[in-house]
Amino acid sequence: MKKNKKLLIIVWSLILLFLLVWSINIKRSDNEYVLNIDIQQNGNINNPIDYKKIINDVRNEYQNDDIVGILSIDNTDYRVPILQGDDNSYYLNHGPNGKRNSIGSVYLDYRVDIDSSRKLLIYGHNSSRTDMPFKILEEFYDINYFNNHKYMSIITSNTEKKYEIFSVYVETSDFSYMNLKLSDEEFSNQFKMFKDKSLYDTGVEVIDTDEVLVLQTCSTHRDYSNYKYKYLLIILRRVL
């Protein structure tokens, strides 16, 4: 009996030790995707911003040439590298440093070019239990949060592009927003669909020639818990 009790204590001690180590590793990996280098974005006509150096610095930080840009949300400290692989699955479970993990990265659809494509699709994980690269997007359910964070920026090796949110909604069945080869008429129809489905009126108008940015993550909102597929979409138009 004493031996069994002693064995039980040892087993529980090992389990608790494992859980402690696991929680520490999770806490460390939670912030793997957050940039920890200082990016100087102030420039002038005599001292223009060196975008190529900014991206190269981030690539050196993570030792990964798959970094193609930086995404930031105005009025927040949120600033993350944008990865792009040869498919849309690799960076679901690999961090910006290229190492495998469950957190994944914020990454660009492999079918598009960050500088020249008219529509950009960017993906990232979300969770109701722990920090994830795109957990912040769930703040946009609240129109008051939207009103204070309407703009996002993308820095590439060549420029900085600014975007304005014009639609926020959760998609459960129609995934045509992922289509990239669209005629002008199809783009126009899609923009109208985005506006019509928005959870609230953003007051932002779009025109047929706009460039568009789509951010996608899984929704953890209780209103959509019974759906098999539920993707929170933040959709923006380029303004600069």
Question: Are 13 and 118 members of one domain?
Answer: no
Which of these, 210, 201, 208, 204, lies nearest to 238 by C-alpha position? 210
What pLDDT does residue 24 have? Answer: 39
* 12 plus 129 within the same structural domain: no
Which whole number is the average pLDDT over 138-165? 98
The boundaries of the domain holding residue 102 are 51-238
Residues 117 and 86 in one domain: yes
How many independent structural domains does the chain possess?
A: 2
Q: Are residues 17 and 135 in the same domain?
A: no
Q: Which two tokens stand for residue 229?
A: 């597929």
Token pair in block for residue 194:
């985005």
Q: What is the mean pLDDT of residues 148-176?
A: 98
pLDDT at 41 exceeding the cut of 90: no
pTM score, whole prediction: 0.85
Q: Are residues 5 and 64 in the same domain?
A: no
Give tens-digit pLDDT for 72-90.
999 999 999 999 999 999 9
Sequence-distant (6+) residues with CB within 8 A of 103 are 29, 30, 32, 33, 95, 125, 132, 133
The answer to whether residues 16 and 58 belong to one domain is: no
Summarised one tens digit per residue, pLDDT across range 107-148 is: 999 999 999 999 999 999 999 888 899 999 999 999 999 999
Residue 125 and residue 219 share a domain: yes
pLDDT band at 12 (very low <50, low <70, confident <90, very high): low
What's the mean pLDDT in 20-41? 54
Are 66 and 171 in the same domain? yes
> What is the number of other CB atoms lying within 10 angstroms of the CB of residue 120?
24
Mean pLDDT calculated for residue range 17-27:
42
Residues 178, 141, single domain; the answer is: yes
Give Cα separations from 86 to 82, 90, 93, 108, 216 (angstroms). 14, 8, 14, 10, 19
CATH number for position 131: 2.40.260.10
Give the per-residue pLDDT at 40. 55
99 & 217 share domain: yes
What's the average model confidence in pLDDT over 204-221? Answer: 96
**Side chain identity at 108, as an amino acid letter?**
L
CA distances (Å), origin 160, targets 10, 20, 56, 154, 156: 57, 42, 15, 6, 6
Say if residue 15 is in the same domain as residue 88: no
Q: Between 230 and 12, where is the model more confident?
A: 230
| Domain match, 120 and 217 both | yes
Distances (CA, A) of 194 to 8, 143, 164, 236: 58, 16, 14, 10
Q: Which amino acid is at 18?
A: F
